[in-house]
Structure 1
Amino acid sequence: MDNTIDKSIQMDSRMKEFFECIGGDADTQQQRIQCIRNGLAAIADRLRLGKAEITVDIPKNRFMPLGERSSAVLYEEEGAELGIPVDIEMKIRTGGTVYIKDYPYGSGYSEEEIQTHRFIFREIFIQYNRTLAQCMLEKIMHTDINTGVANQDSLMYYAVNLIKNGRIGDYTGIFFNIHNFKYVNKVFDYSQGDVILRNYAQMVKSYLDSDEEIARLGGDNFVAICRNENVSDFISKIKDVHISHEYRSVKREFQLGVTAGIAGLEGVAKPREVMARTSIAYQAARKNGAGSIVVYTKEIQKHLMDDQEILAAFPQALAAGEFVVYYQPKVRIADKSIYGAEALVRWVRDGQVVTPARFIPQLEREGSVCRLDYYMLEQVCGFLKSRLDKGQKIVPVSVNFSRRHLEESDLVERITGTIDRFGIDRSYIEIELTESEDYQNYEIMSSVIERLKERGISTSIDDFGTGFSSLNMIKKVDLDTIKIDKSLIPFDDVNNNKHQDIVMFSSIINLIGRLGKKSVAEGVETTQQLDYLEKLGCDIVQGYVFDKPLPKDEFEHRLESGYSL
């Protein structure tokens, strides 16, 4: 900054008020705009500012399929005679442009005034761009990266609001799967299949009103929540969707139908009940065959019998040691050394290995998952103690704990007591909190994490980027490690927004690092993905590219053999 600008922006009380206003707390772009308005109002007469307008132009991207173009008046002097404006243009790092039109009060600005105004609006842009980046990260974490519609967690927040406002009974949930989408991937490769899926999702979203919502669950599965009076029309449209696509001189039109489960939401008290009802109806529709549509009724609740069987068998299975620990290594990319591992549960029942998806959701809903978590912690501590007694190498192991444990007043004492009972150093255990509940209580979680940290036990949060692990979580809770969900990692070979995705991912890695936290990328499956992550600055990964979750004996062998460089 030169001497002219130094002199013209002396830090008096009004200029101090300006900087305090524009840098004030703001969670949304609208709030930041208001902060800027307040700041400019404090110094407008000093700047001879008659009017200032801002226009934001963001191109289409994965998280904003329609892009964004918006304008707002930042300041306007009533009755002012405006002179020739100065146009200021600034680039947004993640893509897009901010335009400022700066009108003087009276005659045009002098060169000295123009320099001052450019400085002022550059400072405004820095604050606005910061809020824009925060909003984009929030958008990322509430958006399905492949389709641009909401993700499941975002849908649950939407349901929470309907419940809180007493409007849930006015809506219907629809769980649907695109019929025979595999044919699309036979005609085009998977990258083009993703493009078609995205176009499909955006088309289906256009069938809904602004107060309705659709989310992608994964694969070609979606859930929509729409007003009761619109259900018939919505179903009739998604039963017969026509999508045209052309790639490398190959052009096809696909007629896509659905298999769907429909559930009225009257009486729903918790958002997870939306998924429970609609998924039960959908499973019934699947049994009836492709293209079937089934409405949830009390009779269909017989499908819950399997859940009840699992819950009834759980206590005896736990006592019999049927639940076993598998370990999935966490690996440093640079030297392929084993940094640690995550403990994952498997149920060996009647000689068959049952995956967590078959029993964890049921135990989670019923609450027995807490007993399983403590059991897993004991098994891991016993494993580490056994290796220590033999003089063998050990690495830190993370143990998943449901957020249901936050209801326990003695959670920290039980965890530390278990570790100490086995006589191992607390630094070898990491508590990995899972985001499976619908409501968040940051104060309780922050207190638990702080007390664990005081006792030498590190913590991590799972699936950053899927919605529950929001910026508020990182801002309000002092976690040691952030595990980045694979949906945020830019892996696609054919992707017009690849550069932008890389910038976003790099920003996330940089943000986590600057906050002094470790980052772990989950679900890494190929060497190509591994190369991407190394180039983008991620140093620890977990996934099939190194190992699937391993039984104890195989993991012990891996600890001894390591990975070849």
Structure 2
Amino acid sequence: MPPKSADSASLTTHQNYIRQSLKCMSGLLFGLYFVGALALMFMALHLNNTSREQTTFYVDKAVESRKLTLESTIGDYAFWGDAYTNMHVSVDIDWAFNRYNLGGAMYESFGYEGVFVIDANDNNIYSVINDVLSDSNSMSSWLGQSVDRLVQQARDLAVDEEVVSAVIALDGHPALIAAAAFTTGGDRNVEELPGSASVLLLVDRLDSDELIALGENYGISQLRIPTDTTDASKAPSITLETYSDMPIALRWDTPRPGSNMLLWFSPIFALGFLLFVYITRFNLRATLAAASKADRSHNESKRLQAELALRANHDSLTGLPNRSLLEERLRTACYEAQQGGIHLAVMLIDLDGFKPINDNFSHHLGDQVLVEVARRMLAIVRPGDTVARMGGDEFIVILPGVSDQHAVSAIAERLLKDIADPYLIDTINLRVTASLGIVMSNGHVEQPLQLIQQADSAMYQAKQEGRNNAFWFTEGLLHQASEITSLRNDLQKAIEEQSFELHYQPQIGSVGGKVVGAEALLRWTHPTRGSISPAAFIPVAETTGQIIPLTLWVLDTACRHLRQLADEGINLPCIAVNISSMHLLRANFIATIRAMLDKHGLQAGQLELEITESVLLNHADRALLTLQQLKEMGVNLVIDDFGVGFSSMNYLKVLPIDKIKIDRSFISGVDSNLQDAAICQGIISMAHHLNLRVTAEGVETQGQRELLAESECDYLQGYLFAKPLSFSDFRVFISRVNQTPA
């Protein structure tokens, strides 16, 4: 047998090497495939468990929400002067039942099957069952159990106008029962009678249909009471503790997304495995002929080089020109405008509210929105125009050869309209708007990039004026930007040199007229511009982040002054400091407050933090957690400028606050404007019902003081008592006022 040639031996060696390599790779891929299958199974199990936990949470929430609605309803009727007059001692059937005050309306409007009144001698004197006026003493036979203990608890809570509720078993179904003692509700026109209070009871029976409807409101399928032993043994379920110590179990059908996912993916995995075997065998043959594909490799290399060149000048996500290509086209447009005596326009477009999409959904979803925005913009501009992505959610549009501002405005309006249309991404309906800055030029600029800077200034002004609009660049914007930059630099120098002063405006008790606290107010005297209003430099500080060191200085100085007053024997219960939402959301804010109190040896209750309701507009969960931790420390929390926000009333339910400050815009007309007086009285009454104290700021006249005192406002603050005082003057003021007999 003749010896093998060198080429033949080399080919054999290459084949063996390829075979061994493919075996190793196949083993590795099989292992990864197996790990992926296990991961999928664990993921399915996790999804099922998560679904069960979520539905359990929503079932609890559904029952609790139903109970809170019942408690709120009975409170509205029991703590009502008319109900006290007509139902407390003796029942006015005509008022209660015939006139729908405590009769059919309770069943038709709220679905409450039972309405009962228990008099001071524990007699059932009024019964409405399933919208039918029933005989007295029918309550016990209908309920099948005694509720004397619940009635007594309601009487015990009558002073505080609180409601007591429980779950009972009624005809084999759960029912919510609430009890509240009749009170005058603070109605001064209703005389309060001596003796034990009559008690109103409402019963909300949750039969099978109502349980199903209740569950569907929270995305729960077939919420029910188990019908047999098999059904009762299935998970998930919750147990309702009842008034009679006979627990009731609730069961529902839980989605199993993990199991469904496995049903979908199992065939895919099986098919993938078969494809894996086939492809491995195919690759074994194909790779042996790799030498004949050298020319393809060369062509592929050229293709990759061309793709890299394209990526160097285009955005990888949207395919739009990137910054480098944009600058080149902007220089070309400026040159052509100079040579041809024409104009060009530059637009800078920034999306409004885009960041929450990434935060609340996913960056993948946000990327798809950016791709769709780019597509819509390209559909509007002319063939010779340029749409480029600057990065993030900023885009640049270059419009060469435009005739006048009207043509540019028409394009800008179309851009704003099309961008604001809904985006349906992965079955999710999203909306974003845009703020647009526009600048026109004849091309005679020192640096073409100045046009982008000018468009950026105009865009910022568009955001300041409400977003979702366009703003044209003017020379005044340059001056404004220069002023802000100068103020920011001077502010930083003032922070480094601590050239600020803290003034205090006293807060006076409406009863007794003594100083009960003070608000710390920051003052800055510029070396050349004189006194600068906080309204001018605080917004700049919040934009640049300088508000953090500023607030730290205010906190430290206020605590130091409070400690100094205490050491001198001057009693000042607390000092209030305004806190920005940016600082409140810092991770170390709680530790900062604790360190300040420890440093100056103060109790937490000696410090008040004033916040505005805007703290909940972004990152509400984190803000609420921080406020709750401050509350647990004992720090007093105050809502400042109450009444001017769009949802102040709603925030009172969730914010763990101690006090509210009525905005000065209501106080200024409280003694001359009936609406302002009514608003103030309403706020004070509502706050007191929520166990909150009230401060009125901006009190400037004796008439305002007298009316607020009559309305039982707790504290007063304003020029009537004192303007903001330096620390030395404030110390004298406290000593003088608090030593003066009331």
Q: TM-score, normalised by structure 2?
A: 0.39
**Per chain length, whose mean CA-contact separation is higher, i.e. which structure has more relative contact order (CA < 8 Å, sep 6+)?**
1
Larger radius of gyration: 2
- Give the number of the structure whose residues are more often strand, by fraction: 1
- TM-score, structure 1 normalization: 0.50
